[in-house]
Amino acid sequence: MEAIFDEVSSILNQFDPISLEQMSGIKLMNRIDTKYLINVNQLPILLRMAQNDYFAQEIDGSRIASYRTVYYDTQDAEMYVVHHNRKLNRQKIRMREYVGSGQFFLEIKNKNNKGRTKKVRIKMTDDAVESHPEVVDFIAEKSFYTMDRLSPRLQNRFSRITLVNKAKTERLTIDLNVRFHNFKTNEDGGISKLCIIELKQDGNQYSPFRDYFMQLRIKQKRISKYCLGMVLTDQSLKNNRFREKVFYINRL
């Protein structure tokens, strides 16, 4: 894995950079997401194909950022179950830490029956969600839940590469080394060679990356990091509709 990370870092350094300030107009908080799963060994091939068509986000001289996320759910894991049962108009509530910059946000992601993802968030000074009245009020106003029904359920950590196309109409996130910890079972999990790629667009527009995927015969594959982490770390949960995806990931 270390050799792959070194190769990926070397290729990323050949991309034109883009700063957070330059990306301020392309947050895509209301968007269509398309996900792909690959073995991390394929990533250098994809990055070389993308080098002339995309910028690489750079923060404090680094083009690979560290993230930590804590997902909140009800005692009976309602948000997980709703997703597992393929119900539309679903939500996820999470605290996200941008480790390098020390920024914290409480985020609520809504997936509607049109396949669009809308995200709203509020900034925090630390990760203690329950201790901030304005955040508790935000959850009550913007979600289907109140704080008294929620508790931390799953943590994940990962490294992320963010690319932006030269037309600045789409973002692409590439998540590596995804690891999980379940607060209820105290179990850890992860699939070290899994690479999760997510294309984020305002609509169904042309994307150079779709061409790369076609050339490499990589097909779209939906995955939720929250649901994957729950399946890997809590054997008591219903998971029959996710078994095929876990099998597919293991085959990678």
Q: Which residue carries 């680094």 as its tokens?
A: 62
Sign of CA dihedral 50, 52, 53, 56: positive
Q: pLDDT tens track of the chain, all 252 residues?
A: 778 889 999 999 999 999 888 877 666 555 678 899 999 999 999 999 999 999 999 988 899 999 999 999 999 999 999 999 988 889 999 999 999 888 999 999 998 877 678 889 999 999 999 999 999 999 999 999 999 999 999 999 999 999 999 888 889 999 999 999 999 999 999 988 999 999 988 777 788 999 999 999 999 998 899 999 999 999 999 999 998 888 888 888
Name the class of domain 2-251: mainly beta
Distance CA 75, CA 14 (A): 47
